[in-house]
């Protein structure tokens, strides 16, 4: 599949399975995020992986987040306040 086909066929997923994801896959996802570009290479992010159902239920109580309760994990991206571009950089990494 070409890169253009990937772009043209992308979709927003709102239904997930609760099938566990291996530690290796989670580490690969975190590694990919940590290699994202950031303003002045500041890398002003921290990632929290949530697998506990009670926390996923709490996160799903917000507006437009109901779908996260069924996911195997939730990746929460946090930015450092001191970094002017942290919101953009965290969004790119996620």
Tens digits of per-residue pLDDT, 27-39? 999 999 999 999 9
User: If you average pLDDT over every residue of the chain, what do you get?
Assistant: 93
Mean pLDDT of 35-50: 96
What is the three-class DSSP state of 50?
Answer: strand
For residue 8, the model assigns a pLDDT of 94
Are 71 and 56 within 8 A, CB to CB?
A: yes
Tens digits of per-residue pLDDT, 54-75? 999 999 999 999 999 999 999 9
Where in the chain are the domains? Answer: 16-93
For residue 59, the model assigns a pLDDT of 95
Residue 69's CB: how many other CB atoms inside 10 A?
A: 17
Query: Which uninterrupted H or E stretch holds 79?
Result: strand 74-79
For residue 65, the model assigns a pLDDT of 92
Query: Which uninterrupted H or E stretch holds 47?
Result: strand 45-50
Please determine, looking at this structure, whether the domain spanning 16-93 carries the CATH number 3.40.50.1370.
Answer: no
Please give the Cα distance from 4 to 88 (Å, whole number): 24
């Amino acid at each position: 599949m070409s890169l253009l086909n990937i772009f043209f066929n992308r979709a927003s997923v709102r239904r997930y399975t609760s099938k566990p994801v291996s530690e290796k896959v989670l580490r690969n996802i975190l590694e990919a995020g940590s290699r994202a570009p950031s303003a002045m290479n500041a890398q002003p992010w921290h990632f929290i992986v949530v697998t506990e159902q009670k926390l996923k239920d709490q996160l799903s109580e917000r507006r437009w987040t109901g779908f996260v309760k069924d996911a195997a994990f939730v990746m929460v991206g946090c930015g450092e306040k001191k970094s002017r571009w942290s919101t953009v950089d965290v969004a790119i990494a996620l």
